[in-house]
Chains A and B, each alone.
Chain A
Amino acid sequence: MQKISRETLIEKAKELLQNGTVSSVLGWKAGEFSYDVTPATFNSVEELEKDFVYNDFCGANFSKYLVKATIKAEGKILVFLKPCDTYSFNQLLTEHRFNREKVYVVGIPCEGMVDVEAIRKAAGEGIVSVECTNDGLVVDTLYNGKVKLAEQDVLLERCKVCKSKKHVAYDELLGDEGEVIESKRFDEVERLEKMTPDERFAFWQRELSRCIRCNACRDICPACTCEQCVFNNPKSGVENKAAANSFEEKMFHIIRAFHVVGRCTDCGECSRVCPQNIPLHLLNRKFIKDIDNFYGEYQAGAEVGSRAPLVNYTTDDIEASDAVRKGDGENA
């Protein structure tokens, strides 16, 4: 269960709307079921009271929505950002993707968000309702009745290995500031590094062959904010809606991963939205791990205006040959 309640957030939003600080609120809107929360703009207290939610299913990262929302908005937009969202927020500011003046950030604590697929696996299909309590989740199911689950067991992958509870950007904070966490997020990458090249190739072949090129990973990605993506541009020569062969299938994700290197904050949205459950975050995490390894620790979005190592040449930079060797998992 989240430490902060829906009511507290509505109260805050109400205050900011009424005192004129903001004119709209970017928040999570309740759906048909307990878990199908949709990002939405709320323009009034009435709208908030009717549909606003904050619970264990509010995984959506609003930072990217600000790119378009700030262009249209007349007044300031109130946005609630969880700690990991604030990294994307800073990264987008570093890239001058929206006007900071038009946003009022309220940082909110996050206890980790849960994955409805994981709940389905644990409690069984046919979820009638999910109640988030202090004591964990109570899932009412069609076939197994009420099932109690510990949140820790059904967290989104990115939350299981949460990298930071620290808010790196906010105008106002509700709750504690939080700390960067010693995370186990590179364990899975290490497992892949230990594979032989053939095993690794087979792993990615298997995973990426499921891709249906829906582009959800790209469209949700806060690092993918090109006004026209090269894969949508008929003049680019690589525009494609389906892979013409199995080589291309892999290239889309690999090229995308390269394009977000040094800018990916590891927010995990790509894997969260993939309809085929492809662990896309592992591609990005491999790059993050390598950058840490080659150039010293670097966290995209930790501060506004930082220069990522790959666009910041120094004479001490690692030699290409060493990079290849170390990148294979050999820790020289």
Chain B
Amino acid sequence: MRKCSLSNLSAVFDKISENLALYIPVDTNGGAKFEKYESGMVMSEALNTVRSAKDFFFPQIEDVAAFKVEGKNIEVVDTRVIKDDFVIFGARACDVKAFEVLDNVFLSDPVDSYYANRREHGIIFALSCSKPVETCFCNAFGIDCTEPKGDVSMWKTESEMYFKANSEKGEKILALVADLLTDGEEKVVESEKAKTKEVLKKLPLSNLSPDKFGGGKTKEYFDDPAWKSLSESCLGCGTCTFVCPTCQCYDVKDFNTGHGVVRFRCWDSCMYSDFTKMAHGNPRLTQLERFRQRFMHKLVYYPENNNGLFMCVGCGRCLAKCPISMNIVKVMKTLGGKN
């Protein structure tokens, strides 16, 4: 366990950013956001960023390939670039767990090389939560917010930041800033964790459980009449999917630049009316079906294919951001009975 005083944190940032790209959460008009560190930037105190950390590995938009078209001929240009190592500083336990959810999709055969490339070069400094809020329910999905995974785990006290490397990658970065760190006492971190755990017990969603969901429950929930009232006010916007750290559906589109064609992929949302639309019709005609798909995917379909792992990490972003305040907690409570 190593530590530095919070007043020395900017020196740590400066040192890391001299060597590789460093991203830290900073406050903006739109809430906290990961930005590339430049000297003088101050780390946000916010519990979490408005957008999740999935952007680092699965950005909202990225080029897949480019094409040169001349007459009847086509040339394919591989636009991929090997990324340099970069550090994500301050991702929370929920977002880090979400990487595991995304890994199961993008790193399963055939491997998505865009994602794999970023993932390989991303070094995660995960920060323990000390002040969880009412919308948090990571606990329901077996996540301990005081013990975040990642290459380095971090704990923050009133005056210090504690670091523990979990991987070689993490150790390498800590070695870079070794001069700025001193030995930290395990005891301090333990007491910090204990304090947070007391708060966790008091959270309004502390008893939420996904136990009634999981693989094999399609028939049980698919035709539940409650989907109608749950989905009736859904606007069909993409807010929940876009702020969600585990939503990973995407679209592939071509953009004619005037000099050639760039094929890019971008986030898509199963909540959108055209998501499944084909030349000859649409299998999900109303918002009920689209709404149901999102939650069935998270609570039943995904766990069925991934050894029971749910496609939700309880970060609470959808609770805070849905324009009509409909969210996975209400769905779980309504379908699974009040628990």
Contacts and interface: CB of A to CB of B under 8 A. Distances in A.
A adjacent to B, CB under 8 Å = yes
Q: On chain B, which size bracket covers the interface? A: 35 or more
A213 B60 CA distance: 10
B132 interface: yes
Interface string A118-145: 0000000111100000000000001100
Interface stretch (B138-146, B219-227, B322-330): B322-330
A188 B232 CA distance: 36
B242 A210 contact: no
Interface stretch (B27-35, B86-94, B148-156, B166-174): B27-35
Interface in A9-65: 31-33, 36-41, 60, 65
A37 B131 contact: no
Interface string B248-272: 0001010100000010101111001
A232 B272 contact: yes
B51 interface: yes
A126 B243 CA distance: 20
B134 interface: yes
Interface in B283-339: 319, 321, 323-327, 329-330, 333
A278 interface: yes
Given A143-B131, A234-B274, A276-B30, A212 B242 contact: yes
Q: Is the interface of A mostly helix, strand, loop or mixed?
A: loop
B31 A241 contact: no
A210 B28 contact: yes
A275 interface: yes
A127 B135 CA distance: 9
Given A126-B133, A142-B202, A38 B238 contact: no
B132, B233, B241, B253: which has the most chain A beta carbons within 10 Å? Answer: B233
Interface stretch (A179-187, A215-223, A311-319): A215-223
A254 interface: no
Contacts of A324: none
A60 B234 CA distance: 13
Interface string A278-315: 10000000000000000000000000000000000000
A220 B237 CA distance: 9
Nearest to B208: A32
Interface string B37-54: 000000000010011000
Nearest to A217: B237
B96 interface: no
Contacts of B204: 32-33, 128
A273 interface: yes
A40 B229 contact: yes
A46 to B, nearest CB: 14
Given A38-B330, A218-B237, A232-B273, 20 more contacts: A31-B325, A33-B204, A36-B327, A37-B325, A39-B324, A40-B232, A125-B131, A126-B134, A212-B238, A214-B238, A214-B239, A214-B242, A215-B238, A216-B238, A239-B274, A240-B253, A241-B238, A241-B269, A243-B61, A275-B243
Nearest first, the 6 closest Cβ-Cβ pairs linking A and B are A242-B266, A273-B323, A36-B325, A219-B235, A216-B237, A276-B30
Interface of A: 31-33, 36-41, 60, 65, 125-128, 142-143, 206-207, 210, 212-216, 218-220, 232, 234, 239-244, 272-273, 275-278
